């Protein structure tokens, strides 16, 4: 696992990305809450219609006719 971490750090340095020193100052719970909040914002902007929803619309349209 240590080799993987070193490999990732070398890749980041090569691509001139900053590497986080230490553990940071945000807890796992705080990071998770932020991620869920951001996803909720993102998800509202997506226009995704599942196959189930499409089939229900077809059935409703057939029943109206």
The residue extents of the domains of the chain are 22-65
**Per-residue pLDDT at 38:** 93
Burial (CB count <10 Å: 0-12, 13-18, 19+), residue 60: exposed
Q: 19, 9 in Cβ contact below 8 A?
A: yes
9 C-beta neighbours (distance < 10 Å), count: 13
Q: Each residue of 32-54: pLDDT tens digit?
A: 999 999 998 888 877 778 899 89
**Per-residue pLDDT at 44:** 80
Q: What average pLDDT does the segment 11-32 reach? A: 89
Phi, psi of 48 (to 5 degrees): -110, 130
Token pair listed for 42: 């993102």
């Amino acid at each position: 696992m240590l080799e993987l971490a070193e490999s990732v750090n070398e890749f980041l340095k090569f691509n001139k990305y900053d590497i986080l020193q230490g553990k940071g100052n945000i807890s796992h719970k705080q990071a998770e809450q932020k991620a869920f909040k951001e996803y909720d914002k993102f998800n509202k902007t997506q226009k995704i219609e599942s196959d189930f929803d499409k089939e229900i619309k077809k059935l409703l349209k057939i029943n109206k006719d």
